Amino acid sequence: MGYFKNINLENYRNFNNFQLDFSSGCNILIGPNGSGKTNILESISLFERGRGIRKENIKNLINNKSKKQHFKITSIFSHKLNNINLLIENQTNDFNMRKKIFINEDSSKESTKYLENIFSLIYFLPEMERLFLNSPSIRRNFLDRLIYSFNKNYNKIINDYKKNILERSNLLKNNNYDTDWINSLEKEIVSLGMEIYDLRKKHLFEINNHLENIGYKKLYPYQISLTLKDTLFNDAFSNHRELEEVFLAQLKNNRSIDAILGGCKIGPHKSDIEGRNIEDNFNLNQFSTGQQKTIILLIILAQCKLLINNYNIIPVILFDEVCSHLDEENRKLLLDIIEKLEVQTFMTGTDKRLFSFLSTKAKYCNINDSTL
């Protein structure tokens, strides 16, 4: 099992100098709104590739009351009884600011890859309560985030796909574009797009299997199934090769309209994820906010079981303000995630009484009692 033993924040967000020790189990961050609870969760999330749970510009992570233009996050991550020293700081190169991660004072690709292989993050944010009411892009990002938790190369596939889509769009704006160039781009778009389709469909299949196993025990109120919805990627095509050919042909046929409208009319960037309750075939976008919270917690539970059982990965889970408007079913779900899975979890809230349903094993951290 891997877990964060502590966190140290220097000139980060609202903190000047801040330190907290963590339990390998459940950690609860208590404090009023604006005290920095979510900032602490964000600091943990920054140890993954990317810009953390808020997708924030790196320069905005620096304490805005400080004259310094530098922040630092340090932590000790325990893995198989070994302590790994972690450091994040911002660096400026050619007027661009970026974050830099050091693993035992080493920032090489090998060290970064080592950390990626032993650390996986799952999180719940308040806006997820309306996941099936939000736009398709939010649901795509949610699914992509689940895939990335075990496939650390997935973000590169997504980014390469987007870069090719953008390059094609820019070429189409010029009527005198090079045909060989755009043909080559479209072949690469199809290749990457098919890989994204396949990975999404495979992961939904695996998640559905774990959701089915959870639902079979009748411990929770819903038995749900998730489906990839796409005008191109469906069961109408008999084989993979046929779909590739159709994908490529439609890209060529859509060049004129894509040149006018911009972007690309088809592909995995247009997909949606639909969810239904199996018993009554009720679409999840008809569920209340509280019911959708239950669904997200069920998906998180299924994802954790999938990571543990299929990939031998023990995740770290961040729950931001998950206990607001919590009913009995969701309390039970949270307890199962926190206590039965034996994973490190972090939860935030404004009042200790929100967490009265938890066992006495939980570690409470009062943000106001810490040195800011």
Contact residues for 157 (Cβ-Cβ < 8 A; gap 6+): 192, 195, 196, 199
- Tell me if residue 226 falls in helix, strand or coil: strand
| CA separation for the pair 301, 283 (Å, rounded) | 20
Residue bearing tokens 């729950």: 319
pLDDT at residue number 372: 42
pLDDT at residue number 234: 67
Q: Which residues of 146-182 are buried (b: 16+ CB within 10 A; e: fewer)?
A: bbbbbebebbebbeebeebbeebbebbeeeebeeeeb
- Tell me if residue 122 falls in helix, strand or coil: strand
- Which of 53, 52, 107, 47 lies closest to 76, judged by CA? 47
Contact residues for 83 (Cβ-Cβ < 8 A; gap 6+): 5, 76, 77
CB count within 10 Å of CB 255 equals: 17
| CA separation for the pair 200, 147 (Å, rounded) | 7
The CATH number of 1-120+314-372 is: 3.40.50.300
Structure tokens at 185: 């781009």
Output the DSSP codes for 196-207.
HHHHHHHHHHHH
CB count within 10 Å of CB 42 equals: 22
Percent of the chain as helix, strand, coil, to the nearest 5: 45, 25, 30
Question: What does the pLDDT profile of the chain (372 residues) look like in tens digits?
Answer: 789 999 999 999 999 999 999 999 999 999 999 999 999 999 999 999 888 999 999 999 999 888 788 999 999 999 988 999 999 999 887 778 899 999 999 999 999 989 988 889 999 999 999 999 999 999 999 999 999 999 999 999 999 999 999 999 999 988 788 899 999 999 999 999 999 999 999 999 999 999 998 877 777 888 999 999 998 876 555 578 888 999 999 999 999 999 999 899 999 999 999 999 998 999 999 998 889 999 999 999 999 999 999 999 999 999 999 988 788 888 888 888 888 888 999 999 998 888 888 876 789 999 874 444
pLDDT at residue number 237: 52
Output the DSSP codes for 143-195.
HHHHHHTT-TTHHHHHHHHHHHHHHHHHHHTSTT--HHHHHHHHHHHHHHHHH
| CA separation for the pair 282, 261 (Å, rounded) | 35
Q: How far is CA 287 from CA 70, 111, 129, 309, 365, in A?
A: 45, 44, 10, 30, 34
| CA separation for the pair 17, 311 (Å, rounded) | 37
Phi-psi map region of 95: left, alpha, beta (phi>0 left; psi -120 to 50 alpha) = left
Interaxial angle between packed helices 240-253 and 179-216, expressed in degrees from 0 to 180 and rounded to the nearest 10: 130
The domain ranges of the chain are 1-120+314-372, 133-312
Q: What are phi and psi of 323, to 5 degrees?
A: -90, 0
| CA separation for the pair 9, 240 (Å, rounded) | 49
The CATH number of 133-312 is: 1.20.1050.90
